[in-house]
């Protein structure tokens, strides 16, 4: 992993690779370009070159399921591109059945819509997670609203309504966007609203979304038990996995990622 100076700007993406296919690559690329447009003038990562580099990296890994970290280090007018495989934090089947604990951290991202590495926030979040045996920490803003997880998005179910924070408040994950599309197609109403801690206590179910966990039910939130049954979340999980299977089959047939 390359060393970074303290004054570097680091933009990054994390992709999951399953059976040789980078999941939702085009969506990740669009978000990467958007991050650059918000932070760096005059540079857009080259689409075709990135595909070539990813294909070579994937070809050298003898695993069916892993993540790839893509990183751009910006120092003044110099931009260095790196990518390397990393182990994904893939939860067990039992964890998906039982749900996880999520704590709360009073913190806000300076520019939430750009995927920029925030080392201090990451360090504090990971420390709290380890200390309290939390799967994730949710970020709480100055208005006492929960916005997102430090490396995930958060969704709250009340009846057929799924609440999630508005776009301007968060880094919209690719898994979140796919999940919301699937939910709408299956009768859910999406409400883009950040909820307070009091509002969250009366939610029927809560789940998080992310590259590695996909959709994960939350049993405990801010030290309060929310639910032991995740009927609606588990249904969304099944629908998402079905779409993921279709996506992998389609991309495999297209052959874009073959050497």
Do the domain assignments include residue 258?
no
Determine the pLDDT at residue 4.
38
Mean pLDDT computed over every residue of the chain = 93
Question: Does 193 lie in the same domain as 172?
Answer: yes
Say if residues 54 and 83 touch (Cβ distance below 8 Å).
Answer: yes
Same domain flag for 207 and 84: no
What DSSP string describes 174-243?
Answer: HHHHHHHHHHHHTT-EEEE-PEEHHHHHT-SEEEEEETTTEEEEEEEETTEE--S--HHHHHHHHHHHHH
Whole-prediction pTM:
0.93
Distance CA 150, CA 208 (A): 11
Which one-letter DSSP state was computed for residue 116? Answer: B
Answer yes or no: do 74 and 143 share one domain. no
State the residue range of the domain holding 233. 93-242
- Same-domain pairing of 121 and 218: yes
Q: Are residues 109 and 176 part of one domain?
A: yes
State residue 259's pLDDT score. Answer: 54
**Are 117 and 51 part of one and the same domain?**
no
Q: Is the domain of 143 the same as that of 228?
A: yes
Q: Tally the domains of the chain.
A: 2
Contact 80, 12 (CB under 8 A): no
Q: How many Cα atoms are found within 13 Å in the side-chain-facing hemisphere of 46?
A: 7
pLDDT of residue 7: 61
Give pLDDT < 50 ranges for the chain. Answer: 1-6
Look up residue 226 and give its two tokens: 């929310």
111 plus 184 within the same structural domain: yes
* Cα–Cα distance measured from residue 15 to residue 211, given in angstroms and rounded to the nearest whole number: 7
We report the CATH number of the domain holding residue 120 as 3.20.10.10
Return the pLDDT at 110: 86
- Give me the residue label for tokens 């995927």: 115
Same-domain status, 139 and 77: no
Per the CB < 8 A criterion, the answer to whether 151 and 124 are in contact is no
So what's the pLDDT on residue 158? 97
């Amino acid at each position: 992993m390359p060393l970074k100076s303290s004054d570097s700007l680091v933009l990054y993406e994390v992709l999951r690779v399953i059976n040789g296919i980078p999941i939702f690559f085009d969506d990740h690329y669009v978000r990467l370009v958007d991050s650059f447009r918000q932070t760096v003038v005059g540079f857009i990562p080259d689409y075709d070159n990135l595909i070539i580099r990813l294909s070579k990296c994937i070809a050298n890994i003898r695993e069916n399921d892993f993540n790839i970290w893509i990183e751009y280090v910006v120092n003044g007018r110099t931009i260095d591109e790196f990518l390397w495989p990393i182990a994904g934090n893939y939860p067990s089947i039992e964890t998906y059945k039982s749900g996880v604990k999520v704590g709360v951290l009073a913190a806000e991202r300076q520019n939430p819509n750009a995927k920029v590495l925030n080392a201090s926030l990451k360090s504090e979040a990971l420390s709290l997670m380890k200390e309290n045996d939390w799967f994730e920490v949710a970020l709480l803003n100055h208005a006492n609203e929960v916005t997102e997880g430090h490396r995930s998005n958060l969704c709250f179910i009340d009846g057929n309504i799924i609440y999630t924070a508005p776009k301007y408040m968060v880094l919209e994950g690719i898994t979140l966007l796919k999940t919301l599309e699937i939910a709408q197609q299956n009768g859910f109403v999406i409400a883009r609203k950040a909820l307070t801690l009091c509002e969250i206590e009366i939610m029927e179910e809560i789940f998080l979304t992310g590259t590695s966990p996909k959709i994960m039910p939350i049993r405990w939130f801010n030290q309060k038990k929310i639910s032991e049954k995740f009927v609606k979340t588990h249904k969304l999980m099944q629908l998402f996995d079905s779409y993921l299977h279709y996506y992998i089959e389609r991309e495999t047939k297209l052959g874009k990622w073959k050497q």
